[in-house]
Amino acid sequence: MYFNETHEAFRASVRRFIDREINPYMDEWEEKSVPLHDLFKKMGELGFLGIRYDPKYGGQGLDYWYETVLLEEAGHIRGFGVSTAIAVQTNMATPAIDAFGSEYLKDKYLRGAIAGDLVAAIAVTEPDAGSDVFAIKTRAVRKGDHYLLNGSKTYITNGTQADFLTLLAKTGDDGGYHSFGLFVVPTDLPGFVVSKKLDKLGLRSSDTAELFFDNVAVPVENLIGDEGEGFIYQMKQFQHERFTLLPGVHVCVQDMIEMTVDYLKQRIVFGKPLITKQVLRHRLAGWLMKNECLKQLTYHIVRMKMDGRDVTREISMGKLFAGQLIAEVASGCLQMFGGMGFMNETLISRYFRDSRIMSIGAGADEVMYEIIARLEGF
C-alpha cells in the first residue's frame, strides 16, 4: 500500500547490510562500542546516510518513505545502541545543517557526514538541562571572527568518536528563546575535552560521553543560520529526532513478540507448551493490536510529512506511545521467558535494558504529554 518495488529493493539491500555488517558483531560491540568510522564509511558508500539530502552534497534526494524503510530495517538490529548511533548521524545532528546551514557548512560537514567520512553528534543536554532545554548554561561569546565556547554537555551519543558536534549554546541574556545559537563544533579544536565515557544501563554498543569546553574558539562561519535563532532551529530538529524512533520501534516490537512466541512453543511447563496458556496468547494479541496502531500512526505521519503539513502533535503522540509500548512489551516478553529472560545471553534481556531509554531520551514522556496538552489548548 505504501511501498513500491523500488522501496522493497532498497529494503532488501539494507537488510543484507545489517545481516552481514552489523548483527554478527553486536555481542562484541556491546562490550566495547561500535567502531563508527568503519561502519559509517561502509554505509556512506552504499548511500544509506543521506537518504533525503540533496545529491549536490552526496545525498540520494529521496523521499520520506525511503527514510522510513531505512529506519524500519534498523529496528532489526539486535540492540538499540547501533541504531541510535546511526540515527544521530542521519536525523539528529545533520537536519539543521541541511535546512539552515551555509554552503560552507553543507559542503564540509553535511557532505562529510553523508559520505561517512565524519562522525556527527548532537550536543544539547547538560547536567542541569535535560528536558528543560531553555536552562542550558553553555555559552558562546563573540570575539572578533570567533565565538569563545565555555561549558559542558552530557549524555552525548557518539561523543567519544565524533568529528564534529551540532551544539546549542547561549549567545545572549535578553532575547528569551532568541538568545541561543546553534553551532558546528569540530572536536579537534583546542579546549575541547571528552571528560569521560559514560557507563549506561542499556545502549551499551554505542558510546555516550560527557564533554567539556574551555575557551574553545569556534569560527564565526560555523554558526548555523542566524545568531539568536538556534533554539528554534533545534526545536525543529527535535522533530526529526523523535520521528526516528517510531519505525524502528514497531519493527522491534514485532521481532520481540515473534521470538517470544517461538520460545513459548518450545517451553514445556506442567506437561504443555506455554503457548497453550490463554492468558499469554491474549497478552501477545493485545501487544500486536497496539503495535499495529503505532505502525499506522507512523505511516500517517509520513503521509503528512510528504504533504508538507506540521506533524508536531502526531510525532509527540507517536514518540510517547512508542516509548511506553516497547518498554511494556520488552518487560512482558522477558517475564514470559522466565529465568532464561534474565540471562544476558538471551536477546530479550538486551531489549529490556535498551528499551527503557525510549521514554526518557529525545524528550521524556512528561514533556510529550505537555506538548500534546498545549497543542490541544489546555
Residue type, 351: Y
Active centre residues (catalytic):
241
Distance CA 23, CA 86 (A): 14
pLDDT per position as a tens digit, 64-92? 999 999 999 999 999 999 999 999 999 99
Residue 300: the pLDDT is 98
Distance CA 232, CA 309 (A): 18
How crowded is the C-beta side of 224, counted as CA atoms within 13 Å? 31
Contact 147, 223 (CB under 8 A): yes
Give the DSSP letter of residue 127: T
Give the DSSP letter of residue 35: -
Residue 176: the pLDDT is 84
Contact 126, 152 (CB under 8 A): yes
Residue 132: the pLDDT is 87
Distance CA 350, CA 341 (A): 9
Distance CA 297, CA 45 (A): 32
* Beta strands 192-197 and 208-219, pairing class: antiparallel
pLDDT per position as a tens digit, 307-340? 999 999 999 999 999 999 999 999 999 999 999 9
Residue type, 346: T
Q: What is the mean pLDDT of residues 7-23?
A: 98
Q: What is the mean pLDDT of residues 292-301?
A: 98
Give me the DSSP letters along 71-111. HHHHTTSSSHHHHHHHHIIIIISSHHHHHH--HHHIIIIIH
**Euclidean distance between the first and the last CA atom of the chain, given in angstroms as a whole number:** 36
pLDDT per position as a tens digit, 85-110? 999 999 999 999 999 999 999 999 99
Contacts of 71 (CB under 8 A, 6+ apart): 87, 244, 246, 247, 248
Alpha helices in 165-311 (DSSP H): 230-266, 278-306
- Is residue 1 pLDDT above 80, yes or no? no
- Is residue 175 pLDDT above 80, yes or no? no
Distances (CA, A) of 314 to 168, 296, 310, 323, 361: 25, 12, 9, 14, 18
Average pLDDT of every residue of the chain? 97
pLDDT per position as a tens digit, 124-153? 999 999 888 989 999 999 999 999 999 999
Contact 137, 129 (CB under 8 A): yes
Residue-range domains of the chain with CATH: 5-119 (1.10.540.10), 121-227 (2.40.110.10), 232-375 (1.20.140.10)
Q: For the whole model, what pTM was predicted?
A: 0.96
